[in-house]
Amino acid sequence: MSPGPYLLAIETSCDDTCAAVLREDGTLLSSVAHSQDVIHEKYGGVVPEVASRAHVERATAVVREAVAGAGLEMDDIGRVAVTVGPGLIGALLIGLSTAKAVAWARRLPLAPVHHLHGHLAAVWLTEPGVGFPHITLVASGGHTTLVRVDDPNTLHVLGQTLDDAAGEAMDKGARLLGLGYPGGRELDELAETGDPSAYSFPVALRRPGNLDFSFSGLKTALYYLLRDMSSDERQARAADVAAAYRAATVEALVSKLFAAAKVGRVDTIAVAGGVAANSLLRRRLQAEGEAAGFNVVIPPPRLCTDNAAMIGAAALSGPMLAFPDYLDLEASASLALGRLPG
């Protein structure tokens, strides 16, 4: 029996075990993401070895769930895509080994995908007819990067963070405020109830023309503000502090994205990555983007946080390795955008 026209995508670069099935025309048929938050919560951060073991335990079940969720059987899969970096090396290797096993057993081709390319692809997965070039801000737990996307496979980094990622800043802020894990979403929810003008946090690198980000000073400012408060005051003012902290983080993201869009003379701007689930960021981009005449693409939150659907969407426009050329393919913990492991 010849393989079917469906693509199975696998993503395990950090602490979510994800699989998805797409049709060759890019239509998403199923997407499953198994979060490990409850496992890592007690450590206050992702423990790489624990993440790898959890991926081993879940990968097969998550793949089967994605295939069944698409109304298909494994024999309907005609190619496989997988994240090969950057990320936690142990976690990446579990996804890569799973993908190789599925592809090799059926003599299928395999597409290696860069994790950030996946986040960028969430934009054309959300809006299939999106215009090129466009500029996308990828803001996640590990990355804050502005990219001009000339076509689905031609990417130019315009700016990036010099220290913490935006999601990392959100998570560290949430931790200082004693909120839940990982923290970004919890801080966002608390901030909705606070007054952002109650405090003023610094927004770094505001010089015109500078498209890089820095969030480490923001986190330090929060540390000193909270240190000088009594515990009663900290509790009473937590929502205002969260609102002001979120406002400064979002201001940096929004202002740099608009600055990049003006320099790049594009019609379309977009946001992707876990922080793109932030409610203030979504509201501001929608309102200010449309007021400035941009087409604004904001993927639904399930396509912003890590998922395999975006990896499949990126794979459909990227390189595909024929059977059995991928058997010695490696994963890479640190990988520049546009590069794949040798």
Task: Return residues touching Zn ion (CB under 5 A).
Answer: 140, 306
Nearer to Zn ion, 30 or 140 (CB): 140
Give dist(CA 249, CA 173) in Å, integer. Answer: 10
CB of 287 to ligand KG4, least distance (A): 17
Contact 141, 183 (CB under 8 A): no
Nearer to ligand KG4, 109 or 196 (CB): 196
Cα-flanking dihedrals φ and ψ of residue 80, to 5°?
-130, 140
Instruction: Look at residue 90 and give the partner it binds from Zn ion, ligand KG4, none, a contact being a CB closer than 5 to 8 Å depending on partner kind.
Output: none
Give dist(CA 83, CA 312) in Å, integer. Answer: 9
CA 36 distance to own-chain centroid: 16
If you ran DSSP here, which 8-state letter would residue 316 be given?
A: T
CB of 101 to ligand KG4, least distance (A): 24
Look at residue 337 and give its three-state secondary structure: coil
Give dist(CA 303, CA 262) in Å, integer. Answer: 26
Nearer to ligand KG4, 16 or 240 (CB): 16
CB of 308 to Zn ion, least distance (A): 11
Q: Which amino acid is at 225?
A: L
Nearer to ligand KG4, 100 or 143 (CB): 143
CB of 184 to ligand KG4, least distance (A): 2
CA 16 distance to own-chain centroid: 11
Contact 9, 303 (CB under 8 A): no
Instruction: Look at residue 188 and give the partner it binds from Zn ion, ligand KG4, none, a contact being a CB closer than 5 to 8 Å depending on partner kind.
Output: ligand KG4
Nearer to Zn ion, 140 or 249 (CB): 140
Residues 6+ positions from 62 with CB-CB distance below 8 Å:
17, 18, 19, 32, 34
- Which of 253, 240, 246 has its CA nearest to residue 214? 253
Instruction: Look at residue 170 and give the partner it binds from Zn ion, ligand KG4, none, a contact being a CB closer than 5 to 8 Å depending on partner kind.
Output: ligand KG4
- Which of 181, 141, 139 has its CA nearest to residue 36? 181
CB of 5 to ligand KG4, least distance (A): 29
Binding residues for ligand KG4, rule: CB under 6 A, are: 14, 140-142, 167, 170-171, 182-185, 188, 273-275, 277-278, 305-306
CB of 133 to ligand KG4, least distance (A): 23
Nearer to Zn ion, 142 or 159 (CB): 142
Nearer to Zn ion, 136 or 140 (CB): 140
User: How many beta carbons lie within 10 A of that of residue 326, not counting itself?
Assistant: 22
Taken in order 122, 324, 89, 17, the sign of the CA dihedral is positive
CB of 314 to ligand KG4, least distance (A): 14
Task: Report the residue number whose CB is nearest to Zn ion.
Answer: 140
